[in-house]
A and B are shown apart, each in its own frame.
Chain A
């Protein structure tokens, strides 16, 4: 079955450590996205990528980094520079049709907790 897989589901990090969240899709989607979700704040865009080896900052990119070496994969690294990383992280993907998005397919999310 086609889909988008995030791992791990739960992640605990000590302050000062970098951690990497995995996102893999087998939908042959061009574009991939990382969102952060905090209670009462909806989804905020961290980074997105429309093509391999290219990505753009979203609204809250500080303290995060990404790579897009393969079409299927878009890992997110939460660095020690991110001041408040405890949150629920969602990865999404879609195809772009002449720049029009028909909606996302979401992964199941990773809940990151700093201890």
Chain B
């Protein structure tokens, strides 16, 4: 059965800290891994990763994929209270749907 596991399930940090969120997966016919940020309603797209070892960056956020070890990490540096959200990892297989992990709840305290 296809599986996406995120860790930790929740995390509380102070503003300015750096956090690393983890996502491991076991799926057949892997095509890509996606990260989303969900604040209250619709998840918003952060990154799509298809190749190992190539870091994607957007401001203070970055992510990298290891297809040999079947995991990805999402880093957030110099965290701000606006980073507080649920971060979702999802894997796309060749086919028709995404498989989601349970999410990591991040709370950044001021």
Contact = CB atoms under 8 A, between A and B. Distances in A.
B35 to A, nearest CB: 10
Interface residues of A, number: 25
Interface string B39-62: 001111100100000000000000
Contacts of A73: none
Interface string A21-55: 00000000001010100001111110010100000
Contacts, number: 54
Contacts of A58: 97
B92 interface: yes
Nearest to A90: B42
Nearest to B29: A99
Nearest to A44: B100
Contact of A102 (B9, B42, B48, B100): B48
Given A31-B96, A101-B92, A42 B42 contact: no
Q: How large is the interface on B (under 10, 10 to 19, 20 to 34, 35 or more residues)?
A: 20 to 34
Interface stretch (A61-69, A74-82, A104-112): A104-112
Nearest to A91: B42
Given A41-B102, A42-B88, A109 B97 contact: no
22 contacts: A33-B97, A41-B102, A42-B88, A42-B101, A42-B103, A43-B90, A44-B100, A48-B97, A56-B96, A58-B97, A96-B96, A99-B94, A99-B96, A100-B32, A101-B31, A103-B45, A103-B48, A103-B98, A104-B98, A106-B43, A106-B44, A108-B42
Interface of B: 6, 9, 31-32, 34, 41-45, 48, 88, 90, 92, 94-98, 100-103
Interface of A: 31, 33, 35, 40-45, 48, 50, 56, 58, 90, 96, 99-104, 106-109
